[in-house]
Amino acid sequence: MSDTQNYQHQLDTKIQKIRADFAEFNLPDLTVFPSPPSHYRMRAEFKIWQAGEFASYAMFAPGPVKTPVAIEAFTAASTTINRLMPLIMDNINQQAPLRYKLFEAHFLTSTTGEALVSLVYHTPLTPLWQAHADELCHRLGINIVGRSRGQKMIVGRDYVNEEFIVQGRKFHYRHSENSFTQPNGFVCEHMLNWAAEHTQNLGGDLLELYCGNGNFTLPLTQNFNQVLATEVAKVSVADAHHNIARNNITNLQVLRMSSAELADALTQKRQFRRLGDLDLKRYQFSTVFVDPPRCGLDTQTLDFIKRFPNILYISCNPESLKHNLHELSNTHRIQAMALFDQFPFTDHIETGVLLAQQ
């Protein structure tokens, strides 16, 4: 089979699995968003294999015994990552301060071609390391972060800028080092457009839980009068506030709170000083949006979101989604469902579901 045929075969297998696993919910037509079969990952992490005075990228072969395999390229990663991999390793092997006790290299790129490389060490970083990193940064036009225990050195900046076009409008994002971002930039743009398309006529206000850096939140503000979003990760909250200002969004408020805390605040079970003078009673929520971790939604959050007329649910784990839908189907009906192939040639399946109250 050609690479294209191989890709389509694995995608068809995923489609069949979703249709079979969720047949009991009387699904509408499943919308499928494929990925490019290669060069789709905007980020990648590699171990560094040290052999004498020579270092190389390494990944571990599957199996009970972890065996490192030296690699020079990684076709799943973006073209920017593959272009930079040999250039950076050549410099690491030529400069002892860059190679000494280096054990990991993390790449973060964007669809616009920006790159951030994090080099992780088992030894403290020195001014000599910084001088070599600075020279490499300027020569390759990249940003570098050096890390060792309790130490972080930034050469350039510790983020990349990303852009996605949603319903004809360009949105700008800051993606910071060590914060969550969608790994497949091409499929991410499809996800944003699908979410925006299926919420454009819902009206009212939107509540979003687990908003991250505002990835979905920013374009969804176009479809609602007001948007209230929560996130607990400090770096993601800072990025969200930056992205709000960068995109001139005026109807969005991001709070650093857990979903459970916000549920308590909205139901007046508890009061929180961090809300300041924000009046939660002014919101008229028609929709709640959740994008939970692999374990899905906990019982308290499930009970909380049932009160909303519409639920938009992005899931990275079909098993936890199915478990949650067993509960949500008591009050809501699936209106639309999509499969987003974030990780080609793996068992991973990302889905989106829109539910409306019965």
Chain segment 140-163, per-residue pLDDT in tens: 999 999 999 999 999 999 999 999
* Eight-class DSSP state of 9: H
Residue 64 above 80 pLDDT?
no
Of the residues 144, 160, 176, the one at which a domain ends: 160
> pLDDT band for position 25 (50/70/90)?
very high
pLDDT, position 343: 94
> pLDDT band for position 66 (50/70/90)?
confident
* Shared domain check, 344 and 265: yes
Q: pTM above the 0.85 mark? A: yes
CATH code, domain with 148? 2.40.50.1070
**316 flagged as catalytic:** yes
* Shared domain check, 347 and 218: yes
Tell me, yes or no, whether 265 lies in a domain. yes
Determine what percent of the chain is predicted with pLDDT higher than 70. Answer: 99
pLDDT, position 95: 96
Tell me, yes or no, whether 24 lies in a domain. yes
Residue 2 above 60 pLDDT?
no
Measured CA angle at 233 (ends 120, 249), to 5 deg: 115
* Shared domain check, 206 and 121: no
Residue 353 above 60 pLDDT?
yes
Query: Could you report the per-residue pLDDT of 43-54, keeping only the tens digit for each?
Result: 999 999 998 889
pLDDT, position 4: 65
Tell me, yes or no, whether 286 lies in a domain. yes
* Shared domain check, 124 and 52: yes
Closest CA to 225 of 242, 261, 250: 250
* Shared domain check, 300 and 193: yes
* Shared domain check, 50 and 16: no
Annotated catalytic residue within 231, 316, 319, 327:
316
pLDDT, position 277: 81
- Residue 285 corresponds to which amino acid? F
Give the integer Cα–Cα distance in Å for 235 and 178: 9
Mean pLDDT for 226-246 is 96
Mean pLDDT for 69-83 is 95
Annotated catalytic residue within 114, 162, 177, 350:
350
Tell me, yes or no, whether 176 lies in a domain. no
Residue 265 above 90 pLDDT?
no
Which residues form the domain of 212? 3-37+184-357
* Shared domain check, 189 and 315: yes
Residue 188 above 60 pLDDT?
yes
Query: Could you report the per-residue pLDDT of 327-352, keeping only the tens digit for each?
Result: 999 999 999 999 999 999 999 999 99
* Shared domain check, 56 and 130: yes
Strand (E) or helix (H) holding 117: strand 115-121
Tell me, yes or no, whether 166 lies in a domain. no
The two beta strands, 252-255 and 67-71, are unpaired
* Shared domain check, 131 and 93: yes
Mean pLDDT for 26-39 is 94
Tell me, yes or no, whether 228 lies in a domain. yes
Helices (H), the chain: 3-21, 79-94, 96-99, 127-140, 185-199, 217-220, 234-246, 259-266, 299-305, 318-328
> pLDDT band for position 266 (50/70/90)?
confident
* Shared domain check, 137 and 231: no
Residue 186 above 60 pLDDT?
yes
Mean pLDDT for 88-107 is 97
CATH code, domain with 253? 3.40.50.150
Domain count, the chain: 2
Residue 1 above 60 pLDDT?
no
Tell me, yes or no, whether 170 lies in a domain. no
* Shared domain check, 193 and 58: no
Say how many Å lie between the first and final Cα of the chain, rounded: 46
Tell me, yes or no, whether 221 lies in a domain. yes
Of the residues 108, 127, 160, the one at which a domain ends: 160
pLDDT, position 311: 98
* Shared domain check, 278 and 300: yes
- pLDDT, mean over the chain: 94
